[in-house]
């Protein structure tokens, strides 16, 4: 009975929109964007919305947004939050990363997937008590794939498979990677699943706030030639393989490493795609937690990220509640609401 009052509907059970007919509450959709560790802010946002009676009927997500949204849809948000807060220190995080250099990604992803399965099990998307979709990208074609049936863990894993970092995931006959390549904040998916009001969360708002166009740039003038002094003879320094890999992967003070170049490139691409997609299909409400100062792999800072998400949702509460009131469908037979 409680689920009926909340307006929840079984995922894909029928084509009717939740909230229509006798229930005159608007169908609320939540579109959770990607952003790796910054996605822990989604937990704080969802906690705040639920505490204020704002219960989503449709949940869609990209990358980490698919993971947090899936955990909520499966009633495992508490378990996810407990696990996130337990990630203290780099050594703890590395325990979930099965690093390999002979595959299509630096990280296989099996260890992390096993941890998700311990919590979520073999849950199917079609058995969830609400509509849910995970957004992924097909490798060979670039198709935007909405995963709306099958194993929830596999859908979550495909959506956060960052190219070059995590190995692609085979679902059906398609190799899938991170959905942020095509739809970082999936507002369109939420609307397609029947949401009448879409609340979106963009985690990359304050990362490139001052990006611009440099209209003229080139190499600096070469310094004036000076008399060369004989180079001191030194014995070659011997580095261990671990130090060499670390230097190449993380870079040095004067030169970016492989990981930082890949992540910065993905950040720039995701920021530009997000702006274009949100301009073409804007949500009714946009929550923008200020988490740009957190890195992609700052999973050990879950407590701070959750707090940032909660504050962002609190700032948006008044606007959300007002929008729900204004856009709520009028009862059958009642006169339309007057626009104030």
Active site residues: 63, 178
Q: What are the phi and psi torsion angles at 132 (to 5°)? A: -145, 145
Between the CA of residue 290 and those of 53, 177, 181, 184, 204, what are the distances in Å? 24, 26, 22, 17, 8
User: What is d(CA 151, CA 155) in angstroms, rounded to the nearest whole number?
Assistant: 6
User: What is d(CA 329, CA 259) in angstroms, rounded to the nearest whole number?
Assistant: 49
The residues, ordered by sequence, that sit 6+ positions from 25 with a Cβ below 8 Å of its Cβ are: 7, 19, 328
User: What is d(CA 297, CA 300) in angstroms, rounded to the nearest whole number?
Assistant: 8
Asked if residues 102 and 192 have their Cβ atoms less than 8 Å apart, the reply is no
User: What is d(CA 273, CA 279) in angstroms, rounded to the nearest whole number?
Assistant: 10
User: What is d(CA 193, CA 59) in angstroms, rounded to the nearest whole number?
Assistant: 9
Between the CA of residue 201 and those of 91, 163, 216, 225, 291, what are the distances in Å? 30, 22, 36, 55, 12
The residues, ordered by sequence, that sit 6+ positions from 275 with a Cβ below 8 Å of its Cβ are: none
């Amino acid at each position: 009975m409680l689920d009926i009052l909340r307006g929840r509907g079984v995922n894909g059970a029928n084509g009717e929109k939740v909230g229509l007919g006798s229930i005159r509450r608007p169908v609320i959709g939540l579109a959770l964007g990607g952003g790796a560790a910054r996605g822990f802010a989604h937990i704080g946002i969802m906690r705040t919305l639920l505490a204020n009676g704002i219960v989503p009927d449709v949940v869609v997500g990209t990358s980490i947004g698919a993971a947090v949204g899936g955990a909520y849809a499966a009633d495992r948000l508490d378990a996810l939050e407990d696990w996130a807060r337990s990630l203290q220190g780099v050594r703890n995080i590395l325990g979930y990363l099965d690093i390999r250099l002979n595959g299509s990604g630096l990280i296989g992803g099996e260890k992390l997937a096993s941890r998700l399965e311990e919590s979520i099990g073999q849950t199917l998307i079609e058995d969830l008590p609400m509509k849910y979709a995970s957004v992924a990208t097909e490798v060979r074609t670039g198709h935007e794939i909405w995963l709306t049936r099958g194993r929830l863990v596999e859908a979550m894993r495909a959506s956060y498979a960052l190219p070059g970092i995590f190995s692609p995931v085979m679902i059906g006959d398609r190799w899938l990677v991170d959905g942020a390549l095509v739809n970082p904040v999936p507002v369109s998916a939420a609307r397609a699943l029947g949401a009448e009001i879409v609340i979106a969360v963009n985690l990359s708002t304050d990362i490139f706030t001052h990006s611009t166009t440099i209209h003229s740039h080139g190499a600096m003038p070469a310094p004036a030639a000076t008399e060369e002094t004989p180079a001191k003879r030194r014995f070659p320094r011997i580095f261990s393989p671990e130090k060499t890999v670390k230097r190449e992967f993380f870079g040095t003070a004067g030169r970016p490493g492989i990981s930082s170049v890949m992540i910065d490139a993905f950040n720039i691409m995701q920021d530009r795609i997000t702006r274009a997609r949100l301009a073409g299909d804007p949500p009714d409400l946009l929550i923008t937690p200020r988490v740009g100062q957190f890195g992609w792999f700052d999973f050990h800072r879950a407590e701070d990220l959750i707090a940032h998400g909660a504050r962002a949702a609190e700032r948006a509460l008044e606007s959300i509640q007002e929008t729900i009131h204004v856009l709520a469908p009028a009862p059958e037979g009642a006169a339309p609401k007057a626009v104030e």
